[in-house]
Amino acid sequence: MLRALLFDMDGVLVDSEDLSITIGMEYFATKGKKLSKKDFMPHIGTGMKDFFSGTAADHHIEGWSLEEADAFSRREYEAKVPKVGIAMDGAARILESARRSGLLVAICSSAPKWKVDVNIRALGFEPSFFDLVVTGEDIRRNKPHGDIYALALAKLGVDSRDALVFEDSYGGIKAGIDAGARTVGLATSIDAATAAEAGADVVISDIGAIPPFSSADELESFLFFPGDVERRVRYGVNMINPLEKRLPESVIIEKAIKKAAKARENAHAPYSHFKVGAAVVSAATGRIYSGCNVENSSYGGTICAERNAITSAVSEEGRLGIDLLVVVSDDDPPAPPCALCLQVIAEFSKEDTRVVLVDVNGKRTEYLFRDLLPHPFIMPALR
């Protein structure tokens, strides 16, 4: 369950990196060294110390000090920010949406505290608006290490699986991943391909691409399940847009039974001689996928018909929602799925997904999935 949003600052909420680089160029110009924007890019998002010391090392610049550079930067930054306006379009809206949704909101910036405070006020907020502000001064190892996010999660009391990190740099994305959180890459300071290469779970153009939202589910749906948010229905761990135009339910059931019965004929059951066929109907496409049980001389290697049908559907469609499951067997009453299969079915089903059990003579028993497995285990972060 999503509980917290952890934002990097520069390049995510504020468009300050060009200004920071300009000031960096001005500082090194006082040391007789003319640099360009690209000279600073490898050190963006890794903190003030590396921003200056890394760039100086790359270009063999001497006669400078971090204390002097920091003082120069602070003086110039505080003077120039009010004149240029650095708030990212949509940043304030997203922060306010997060607040209304009851989410915890934290700033996790590698920058020094003075710069973070200036940036927060440039957004139109006070630091007290946020549940937590963590800066590069609070940690020993900066990004790409995940320490800053791990510290924030610990202070907030939030599991990493229940948080989203928003980052715009290669090292920042690596830091979010290192902390165990799902990470949203923003193609502001780096391009989308680089953000994906860094391992971002999803890549968007900028923070303004996120529309206003009123709940954590709505935000997750936009980021991870693009499409028509209002029509989506949760099937286990997946959000699915159900097919609108469908055949009559009676026709669908008959078709699924025929496919399951045909699959049963191909079952490999030389040990138990108990053949089973299954069929699942995709909620998104209406397609029917079938499978049979495949036994193995090492009994643990046996695959049930239900799981075969499901893996067939997933291999074709990727994100699966089961609208109907049919199981055909030579048993009276018709055999239900085993406990292991029920757990797998839970990954892709709603509570009211119909389960139709049929014997070879056509006798039927029907259940809703919740009647067969009332309390399935679903990963907390995916519920």
Q: What residues are annotated to the active site? A: 306
Q: Over the Cα atoms of the chain, what is R_g?
A: 28
Residue 17 in tokens: 């990196």
Q: How far apart are CA 81 and CA 73, in angstroms?
A: 12
Tell me the angle at which helices 66-84 and 48-58 cross, rounded to the nearest 10 degrees.
110
- Sorted by sequence, the CB contacts under 8 Å of residue 196 that are 6+ apart come out as 185, 203
At position 26, the amino acid (one-letter code) is: E
- Sorted by sequence, the CB contacts under 8 Å of residue 381 that are 6+ apart come out as 1, 2, 159, 161, 162, 182
Asked if residue 49 lies in contact with residue 73, where contact means CB atoms within 8 angstroms, the answer is no
Residue 11 in tokens: 């390049």
Calculate ∠ Cα 79-84-87, nearest 5°. Answer: 110
Nearest to 241 by CA among 252, 218, 253, 225: 225
Residue 81 in tokens: 């920010």
In the three-class reduction of DSSP (H, G, I as helix; E, B as strand; rest coil), residue 295 is classed as coil
Torsion of CA 129, 132, 133, 139, to 10 degrees: 180
At position 290, the amino acid (one-letter code) is: S
The DSSP secondary-structure symbol of 136 reads: G
Q: How far apart are CA 116 and CA 129, in angstroms?
A: 13
User: For strand 182-186 and strand 233-235, is the pairing parallel, antiparallel, or unpaired?
Assistant: unpaired
Q: Widest CA span of the chain, in angstroms? A: 91
Q: For tokens 């399940």, name the residue.
A: 225
